[in-house]
Structure 1
Amino acid sequence: MLPIWLAAMALGGCVGSGPDGAGPDTAGAGAAPLRGFGVDVDQAIAPRVPVVHLRTCGSWGCHEQDVTLVIAGPTSAVPCPSASAAADTACGVAHLPGPGPGFGYAPVPELTLEQVTVTVTTPAGAPLRVRADLAVRPFAVCPESASCPPSSAAVPQARLRITADGTVIQSR
């Protein structure tokens, strides 16, 4: 499941799912973050929000896209394949099927650290209707840390959260 791996890599995390979604996370530190939005959906409604449409507008214009949301089931530690590793050492994380929160990632190559207006909607006929317009202030992310001061190495990102009642908020 490439979207899981892409989301983890895009958010600059230390781990990412294998390309098929079932393998261990093997991405190392230093993964380059991408400009864009992480989208989280509360577990209570995640099965009813399989996709959202994002329209992001800033001083650079507007960017629109559909974002497929994946339900994140429980995880389990993957043992190391090496016999030299300690018995209690984990070398990765496997994503197991099951209920959990939803998540996705929306790359927005034009995104800057300036405030943008984001419209989040679900398609007609979706099991849960979501429609929200909000002002979002991206934050700076560096390849080696969660956030950093604005610089040439900083990449603008933001996180959106769809709560159990369908409200969309900026989260961090």
Structure 2
Amino acid sequence: MRAVAAVEQAEKPAAHPLDGVGVQAGQQAAQADPTTHGRRRTESGSSSRRNRTRRELRPIDMRLLPIVVLVLALSAACSSPRDCTGIGSMPGFGVDVDPALAPRISGGTLAVCWAETCGTHQVDLYPATAAETSTCTGELCSARMRRTGALHGFVTVPDLPEAEVRATLRLTDRSGKAVVDQALDVTPTMTEPNGPGCGGGSPQSQLRVTPTGTIKTN
């Protein structure tokens, strides 16, 4: 019996001396390296944040939409400056005398009254001209001017309002005799020499004297 037991012990394979070390090292590595557990915690935290983000997202209040659109429109308007020139205009009246009556006119006056303001202004008239022919070379153009036989002038009236005023035009010949003497109610309108909305304008009106001496306004 002792001989059989010896044989069985001899046939049983001996345990490798590193087997126990490998198992212990694997257990220690699992305990020392928490990568797997950390990854699980990270995935769990990301899922929680996504859930909170979904809960925090709310629909946009549609009542604020017009305000947003208005702000964008104003920003677009401010980013596109208006193309304006720097021309100015004076308040007053233009005076045009028809060629048929012009040879008889030497000068005159214009009285303008509104509210409690009233003033008389000298009317200086000059020969009116018009372009007869024009020629262009590239972007440069020139025009030949000719006299039309009419008379033209402009009377500056400081503080002229954009409202109805009483205008009395009196034109005389060389002897001082009145050829035209007429009063009429006129409402000057604001000019826009630099384009719409660019400023620089003043109230003006135009007085046209017909061949019969009657005054008309534009």
TM class by shorter-chain length? 0.5 to 0.7
Question: Which of 155, 178, 185 is the matching residue for 1:106?
Answer: 155
- 1:34 lines up with 2:90 in the alignment: yes
Distance 2:200 2:131 in 1: 32
RMSD: 2.8
* Aligned residue number for residue 62 of structure 1: 118
1:45 Cα deviation after fit: 1.1
* Aligned residue number for residue 165 of structure 1: 212
- 1:156 lines up with 2:203 in the alignment: yes
Q: Which has the higher contact order (CA 8 A, sep 6+)?
A: 1
Aligned AA (1:120): L
1:143 Cα deviation after fit: 2.6
CA deviation vs aligned residue, 1:40-82 (integer Å, no higher than 9, x gap):
11121112223221000012501211111112144345767xx
* Aligned residue number for residue 20 of structure 1: none
Gaps spanning 5+ residues in structure 2: where? 1-84
Would you say the 8 A contact 2:172–2:178 is kept in 1?
Answer: no
Question: Which of 33, 40, 48 is the matching residue for 2:104?
Answer: 48
Would you say the 8 A contact 1:118–1:133 is kept in 2?
Answer: yes
CA deviation vs aligned residue, 1:99-152 (integer Å, no higher than 9, x gap):
42211000001201010000111237347611100000001102314xx68x97
* Aligned residue number for residue 141 of structure 2: 90
* TM-score in terms of structure 1 length: 0.65
Larger Rg: 2
Gaps spanning 5+ residues in structure 1: where? 1-28
* Aligned residue number for residue 13 of structure 1: none
Question: Which of 180, 201, 208 is the matching residue for 1:130?
Answer: 180
Would you say the 8 A contact 2:86–2:200 is kept in 1?
Answer: no
Would you say the 8 A contact 1:72–1:95 is kept in 2?
Answer: no
* Aligned residue number for residue 168 of structure 2: 119
> Larger % of helix: which?
2
Q: How many residues align?
A: 133
Aligned AA (1:159): Q
3-state SS of paired residue (1:39): strand
Give percent identity, aligned residues only.
29
Distance 2:116 2:87 in 1: 26
Aligned AA (2:210): T
Distance 2:151 2:108 in 1: 11
